Amino acid sequence: MIDIHCHILPGIDDGAKTSGDTLTMLKSAIDEGITTITATPHHNPQFNNESPLILKKVKEVQNIIDEHQLSIEVLPGQEVRIYGDLLKEFSEGKLLTAAGTSSYILIEFPSNHVPAYAQELFYNIQLEGLLPILVHPERNRG
């Protein structure tokens, strides 16, 4: 089983706070039959987690996996709050696709509305060969 949306990286958003929390989450995932996790920390105004930090944190988690000889894989990704410069920052290497794929990008809307530019941005995202996947659409009142 694969978990494509998990806040498992320690200390960078509202998920795991410590390496110990990450270890607990890894063991729990294994117990539930998960073999692969995509780490998807927030990238939004509150948590500005760009790709270099995420890649560094995934390496830290790999060290935990190796140290404890766990049978699980953690891949890099991001949960990106929609914003106008998303494609520009993607081309600058600040944003990641899900699980290092070449095409899937996790997008989150704000909770209170769907931005007026969303349809055009999603169209442009697809023109770039990316496929936007909405995370938590149920949280959007719009």
Which pLDDT band, with edges at 50, 70 and 90, does 123 fall under?
very high
- Pure H helices in the chain: 19-31, 51-67, 86-91, 118-127
pLDDT of residue 85: 95
Question: How far apart, in whole angstroms, are the C-alpha atoms of residue 135 and residue 133?
Answer: 6
Average pLDDT of every residue of the chain: 96
Which pLDDT band, with edges at 50, 70 and 90, does 132 fall under?
very high
For the chain, the structural domain boundaries read 2-139
Q: What fold is seen in the domain 2-139?
A: TIM Barrel (3.20.20)
pLDDT tens track for 16-25: 999 999 999 9
pLDDT tens track for 33-88: 999 999 999 999 999 999 999 999 999 999 999 999 999 999 999 999 999 999 99
pLDDT at 100 over 90: no
- 78, 107 Cβ separation under 8 angstroms: no
pLDDT of residue 34: 98
Which pLDDT band, with edges at 50, 70 and 90, does 12 fall under?
very high
pTM: 0.92
